Amino acid sequence: MAFLQPTMALPQTSQTSSTAPETRSSIFSRRSARQLGLFAAGAGFFAITSVITRRSLVRRYKATIPKFYQPSNRANFEVNGAMEAFEALNIATINVLSVGMMASGGLLWAFDISSLDDMRQKVRTKMGAPGSLEDKDAEEEIEEWFATVLSRKEFKHLKGKEKELKDNKDEEETKP
């Protein structure tokens, strides 16, 4: 009979109000809502592409139905194979992209990844990779290498221009 007895309300303190967001499910957090944005965009895009596909199929079907006074043994429309193939490719492409966008958004939400840094961190922890100091050193080393390669390329380019100018001067001197 304990469920029939009235319970006394406990006074609310500032601690319970500060812990209220922590007790909420992570599904309703701002981060989760931001992550679900890609999934929602993909779902909306999929709905739009489904409407476009349906409209195209209905238009093609209505084109095959003969008019009232037209003989049913002859086709009533001209077929342009290239345009039909082009339209089919476009419709298939937008359908695949929308499903891919929706799937990737759902997977990113399911794996709790909201940025590229989150993905890097999760991959590194799963692979047992060390901290990010080595990564910064490696990135700096790659940047230095790119700078040396690009400077050599620029030097070769400038050297080639100097050679062209020298050849032009030599040709001008021999002409008079």
Distance CA 17, CA 23 (A): 10
In angstroms, the Cα distances linking 50 to 46, 55, 56, 96, 100 are 6, 8, 10, 11, 14
Q: Structure tokens of 71?
A: 């003989």
Tokens 């195209």 sit on residue: 56
- Look at residue 62 in the predicted model and tell me its pLDDT: 87
- Look at residue 151 in the predicted model and tell me its pLDDT: 81
Task: Write the single-letter amino acid at 41.
Answer: A
Which range among 67-71, 79-83, 98-102 shows the weakest confidence by mean pLDDT? Answer: 67-71
| Torsion sign over Cα 164, 169, 174, 176 | positive
pTM: 0.54
In angstroms, the Cα distances linking 106 to 28, 38, 116 are 15, 8, 16
- Look at residue 7 in the predicted model and tell me its pLDDT: 47
Nearest to 66 by CA among 78, 56, 75, 55: 75
In angstroms, the Cα distances linking 55 to 16, 75, 91, 111, 114 are 55, 21, 11, 36, 35
On the 0-12 / 13-18 / 19+ scale of CB atoms within 10 A, 84 is exposed
- Look at residue 138 in the predicted model and tell me its pLDDT: 79
Q: What are the tens digits of pLDDT across the range 91-114? A: 999 999 999 999 999 998 888 888
Half-sphere exposure of 82 (CA within 13 A, CB side): 0
Q: Structure tokens of 33?
A: 């809502």
- Look at residue 95 in the predicted model and tell me its pLDDT: 96
